[in-house]
Structure formats: structure tokens, C-alpha cells
Amino acid sequence: MRVISGSARGLKLKSPKNMDVRPTTDRVKESLFNIISGRVMDSFVLDLFSGTGSLGIEALSRGAQRATFVDASKSSMDIIKENIQKARVNDKSELILSDSITAVNKLGVRRDKFDIIFMDPPYLKNFIEKTLIEISKREILEEDGIIIVEHDIKDEVKDNIEKLQKYREKKYGNTMISFFAWED
């Protein structure tokens, strides 16, 4: 797993030794960032279920202004810390050791807003809808922002959740990427 483009291009990121964390493959990440390339520069990014921090670090490498990394696992947070230090993006990073719902609540109370929200929850565990509902309620997505959800093709992901609407899907083997924005 590596940073594909930008200031940290080619940097090999640390991954966990066990299979509790399933990092986004380089192929999926490269395709995803090609789709959103015009949105990344100067953006504020939230990386929920961060795992290794790969998506947030890629965004920072490509010119995002700031990234907030959220994960409930202490061992994942240690890996994220190490990876952001290796990528030299500490000054643009915030780490929150928390489950996604509690973190979204906290960010909502702080009135934080994000241009891009990445969600890569454990597959087939029903985290997607609950988290999207909370994001919608707390209104932490900018008016023209997007949410990118990586999930298993067997995960049921509705087209409309609260005030959020799915506007695009892309399939990569058993992985699906769903794109959400505010309803028109």
C-alpha cells in the first residue's frame, strides 16, 4: 500500500499485520482519486473508519488543506500516527480515537464542515446507514461536499438516507464505491 500521487508520492504506508483492517487497494484508491481529482485541492477531509489513514493521507498528498482521521481501534490509530509522520502531514492532521457516531456528534457540536468524507467501515456490519444518518443530522458535510463509501457489493446501501442521496456507484470486484451528496 502506497501513496499514489502528490507530495508523498511513492511512500509505502504501514499496514497492520492482522486482517482486522482491510486497506483500500491501490487500484481502487487510484480510480477513486481520478474521479474526485478536481475536488481535493484545498479541501477539508474526514476519514472515518480510517484503518491505516491511507485515504486521508492520499488527499493531503494531493493538496487537501486538512484531514481528520477517526478510528475506534487504538492499534489502527498508532498506525495512522506513524503513517502521517512518514508522509510529513502531521501539521495538517487531527486524530480522533472514537467510534464513528460519537466522532460525528463531536464534530457537529464543534460545527466542523467537510468537503470530502471518506467512509470505509468493516464490510457487512451495518455501519453505513447509521453513520450517514448521523452525518446528515449533524450537517458536517459542506453544501457542495461529497461522501464516498467503500463497501462490499453485498452491503445493502439505500439510494436516499435522510437528506443524502446516492448519485454514483462504481464496482471493483467485490468492492463497491457509493457516492453521496445532499439531495437537490
> Going from the N-terminus, what domains does the chain have, and what CATH number goes with each?
41-182 (3.40.50.150)
Average pLDDT over residues 16-25: 66
Residue 124's pLDDT band, with cuts at 50, 70 and 90, is confident
Residues 164-182 have a mean pLDDT of 95
- Alpha carbon distance 85, 134 (integer Å): 30
The C-alpha atoms of residue 13 and residue 52 are separated, in whole angstroms, by 8
The model carries a pTM of 0.94
Q: What is the pLDDT of the chain when averaged over all its residues?
A: 93
Instruction: Tell me what pLDDT residue 12 has.
Output: 87
68 neighbors 77 (Cβ within 8 angstroms)? no
User: How large a percentage of the chain has pLDDT more than 90?
Assistant: 78
Cβ count within 10 A of residue 18: 7
Q: Is the pLDDT of residue 135 over 90?
A: yes
Q: Is the pLDDT of residue 180 over 90?
A: yes
